[in-house]
Amino acid sequence: MYQLLIVDDQPDLVEDLATNIDWSSIGISSVYQAHSANEALDTMKMTQIDIVITDIRMPGISGLDLIEAIKASWSHVKCILLSGYNDFEYAQRALQYQASDYLLKPVEDNELLEAVQKAIGELEQHWLEISSWQKAISSIKANLPILRSHLLTTLLHKQLPQEQLQKRLSMVELLIPLDSPCYMMLLRMEDYFYEQSEQDSSLLEYAICNIAEEIFDDGYRLWHVKDSYGYYAFLILPALQGEKGSFAADDSAVSALNAEVIEQKAAHLQHYVKLYLKGTISLVLSQQLSFPQQLTSVYEQLLRSFRQRIGSERDFLLTMHEERAAESDDADCLSELYAPPLLNHLLEIGQWDAVEEKLHAIFNELEQKRGDSHEHILEAYYAIVSSLSYAIHKNKLRMADCLGDEFNHMLEGPRFHTIAQLRVWLDEVIQAYKRVLSERSQDSRTGVIQKVQEYAAQHLTEASLQSLADHVFLNASYLSKIYKLETGEGISEYLSRLRMETAAHLLRTTNEKIYEISVKVGYNKTSYFIKVFKDRYGVTPQEYRDQ
């Protein structure tokens, strides 16, 4: 129940309002009376008042000055002003002091009841929001370990915008200045631990993390998470001076990191886990890195180290030194295979000059950067076969019909080991496919479809059903029907797919702005481009790029 204070220099009016209105019907339990602003303030100091009704014109301190004083000390109290004058200046000041309502005398009982009921509704909404916020904060505090783990998982896989990262660090009460030095340690639990029951295994995982916290507590802070591969990723940070091992968000300075000490502590962790928990763990320890910029690349490096350097070894500790981090001979994909225009689209619409240029670029990259790397020859082979299969099937054909005996050879896998052999084989299968399409192009509908697709690919920015229809001299409605009949895909669907795939590649491989990519693929309104992109890929363009 709420408490009401009525203030007016006319005692009879105050008494009448206090006693002759059914305040209890709207949830008012007590009504207090005051005949001046000073008396009202004295009452406010002694009683928990929720709502104040005050006249504006009173001797001494006016009603406007009174609500200003009330708001200064009791900001949550709702104030309703009564005035015998319809004065704009009064109303303006009432708004300035956030008055709940402004009523003109004489005021009807129902009108006053409605104003107070409105004020009660505002109070309920205010305290509901406050309580909900407090519940949210309480929930966050109770789930800090989980929220911290989620944040670290995110940072291991992608960069967050600086402002967003700082907000999330603050929310989970982590004081980690950007560009802070740190180390990363990847931990793998081994055979003994996985022979235990699920419950016992969880307890052992918890115990290992506690041992790690204890060992690194002197001078360091740990932030850890279990990744999707079952490894534990530990971020090793300098401790806050004066806050031993704490993540408290204050302005304490941080201590220095010592690579030798960290390596010793990692060895101690292995020893104590083996001694007290009777199982082995293997560890890979990174070189010093900068938070958060290098987290993703270093995490991937540590994963590769486990796979390539430790493998099936047990109870192993590997420290990644600077020279290892600088290695640049890692395998990489052939970028030309996946750059637009995509080979499958060019083969689908029979743009043979463009197909030749595309293959020339692919082989040029293969020869200059990879030589006769069998891995990359296989990558090119399988990617080209996939594109060829896609194009043949999209044109309602069978690979066996298009490629003849070569199709049977494909079932056995590649029979060559050099780029020259790959090139000879590819020339043969492309020519076979080209002959089949050439024969089929006699069909007028097929010819129209090919012209439409060729034009769309070359004029992606402005391509539309009408512009395509104009290009092939057909009615737009008729073109739409035959295109759907021949390809099983509507023109708008085809254009959208082409635009989205081009946009996705530009997001992956360039630093162009979102709005620049939007215009380049035919969307002048960036917000609409973002919506269409999210509908197709489930994430926004920025989220796709971050991934």
DSSP structure string for 445-459: HHHHHHHHHHHHHH-
> In this structure, are 18 and 61 located in the same domain?
yes
Backbone angles phi, psi at 318, to 5 degrees: -120, 130
> In this structure, are 390 and 532 located in the same domain?
yes
Q: What local confidence, expressed as pLDDT, does residue 348 receive?
A: 83
Tokens of 391: 């194009």
Residue that the structure tokens 């035919």 belong to = 522
CATH number at 470 reads 1.10.10.60
Collect all residues with Cβ–Cβ distance below 8 Å to 304 and sequence separation of at least 6.
330
> In this structure, are 134 and 223 located in the same domain?
no
In angstroms, rounded to a whole number, what is the distance separating the alpha carbons of residues 15 and 6? 9
First to last CA, the chain: 53
Q: Which amino acid does the sequence have at 332?
A: D
Task: Say if 480 falls within a structural domain.
Answer: yes
> In this structure, are 163 and 24 located in the same domain?
no
> In this structure, are 121 and 164 located in the same domain?
no
Whether the ω angle into residue 292 lies within 30 degrees of 0, i.e. cis, is yes
Cross-strand partners of 186: 233, 284
In angstroms, rounded to a whole number, what is the distance separating the alpha carbons of residues 223 and 184? 10
Tokens of 379: 């990558």
CATH number at 176 reads 3.30.70.270
Q: In order along the chain (547 residues), what is the average pLDDT of each group of 10 residues?
A: 91 87 90 92 89 88 87 89 70 69 84 91 81 60 80 90 90 87 93 81 88 90 89 90 48 64 93 90 92 91 83 86 47 75 84 88 82 76 89 87 81 74 86 80 72 86 87 85 85 88 90 91 88 91 90
> In this structure, are 72 and 179 located in the same domain?
no
Structural domain ending residue among the three candidates 302, 325, 348: 325
Q: What local confidence, expressed as pLDDT, does residue 327 receive?
A: 47
Collect all residues with Cβ–Cβ distance below 8 Å to 117 and sequence separation of at least 6.
26
- Cβ burial of 58 (10 Å; 0-12, 13-18, 19+) is buried
Structural domain ending residue among the three candidates 120, 139, 158: 139
3-state secondary structure of 109: helix
Tokens of 529: 């481009």
In angstroms, rounded to a whole number, what is the distance separating the alpha carbons of residues 27 and 419? 87
CATH number at 135 reads 3.40.50.2300
Backbone angles phi, psi at 202, to 5 degrees: -65, -40
In contact, 500 and 340? CB cutoff 8 Å = no
> In this structure, are 191 and 272 located in the same domain?
yes
Q: Which amino acid does the sequence have at 3?
A: Q
Task: Say if 368 falls within a structural domain.
Answer: yes
Task: Say if 40 falls within a structural domain.
Answer: yes
The runs of H, that is alpha helices, within 278-342 are: 295-305, 322-325
The secondary element (H helix, E strand) that includes residue 14 is helix 11-19
Considering its fold, how many domains does the chain have in total? 3
> In this structure, are 120 and 159 located in the same domain?
no
In angstroms, rounded to a whole number, what is the distance separating the alpha carbons of residues 101 and 209? 59
> In this structure, are 50 and 119 located in the same domain?
yes
> In this structure, are 153 and 249 located in the same domain?
yes
In angstroms, rounded to a whole number, what is the distance separating the alpha carbons of residues 157 and 233? 12
Which CA distances in Å does 231 have to 132, 205, 283?
37, 11, 10
Task: Say if 288 falls within a structural domain.
Answer: yes
User: Whole domain around residue 531: which residue ranges?
Assistant: 335-546
In contact, 148 and 172? CB cutoff 8 Å = yes
In contact, 385 and 391? CB cutoff 8 Å = no
Task: Say if 443 falls within a structural domain.
Answer: yes
> In this structure, are 410 and 460 located in the same domain?
yes
Structural domain ending residue among the three candidates 139, 154, 182: 139
Task: Say if 330 falls within a structural domain.
Answer: no
Q: What local confidence, expressed as pLDDT, does residue 256 receive?
A: 64
> In this structure, are 202 and 223 located in the same domain?
yes
Pairing of strands 2-7, 289-291: unpaired
